[in-house]
């Protein structure tokens, strides 16, 4: 069902056809030092940014972040989810990888 709001307002509020989708990722990281964690995080950020995505979140042992496109009005895709999941699963210091479904990045729906 379409919103009764005007196209201009839907765009301003990121609603309906202008909704931006992203996904949550979580995993356990087995690192022995803060330097190892920094190296892991630098590599992950480089990978994420290399796919024109951005990420917010963190934590040393139980890592969790939300990932979405770095471009306005562009959504993350299932291919992005697969790429991030494959990268994490191929990293030997990462366990228990969980990739969430695509959800509205602004409203969490």
This prediction has a pTM of 0.87
| CATH code (residue 83) | 3.30.70.60
In a domain, 2, yes or no: no
C-alpha span between 29 and 31 (Å, rounded) = 6
The verdict on residue 31 lying in a domain is: yes
Let me know if residue 9 belongs to a domain. no
Q: Is 62 contained in some domain?
A: yes
CB hemisphere CA count around 25 (13 angstroms): 28
Determine the structural domain holding residue 80 and report its residue range: 19-104
In a domain, 3, yes or no: no
Is 3 a residue whose pLDDT tops 70?
A: no
Domain count within the chain: 1
- pLDDT tens-digit map of 14-54: 898 999 999 999 999 988 888 999 999 999 999 999 999 99
Residue 80 lies inside a defined structural domain of this protein? yes
Residue of 73, 32, 19, 25 lying closest to 48 (CA atoms): 25
């Amino acid at each position: 069902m379409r919103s009764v709001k005007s196209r201009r307002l839907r765009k301003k509020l990121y609603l309906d056809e202008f909704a931006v989708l992203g996904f949550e990722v979580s995993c356990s990281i087995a690192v022995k030092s803060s330097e190892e964690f920094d190296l892991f995080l630098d590599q992950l950020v480089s990978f994420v940014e290399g796919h024109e995505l951005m990420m917010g979140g963190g934590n040393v042992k139980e890592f969790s972040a939300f990932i979405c496109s770095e471009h306005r009005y562009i959504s993350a895709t299932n291919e992005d989810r697969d790429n991030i999941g494959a990268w994490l699963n191929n990293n030997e210091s990462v366990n228990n990888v969980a990739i969430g479904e695509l959800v509205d990045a602004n409203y969490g729906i």
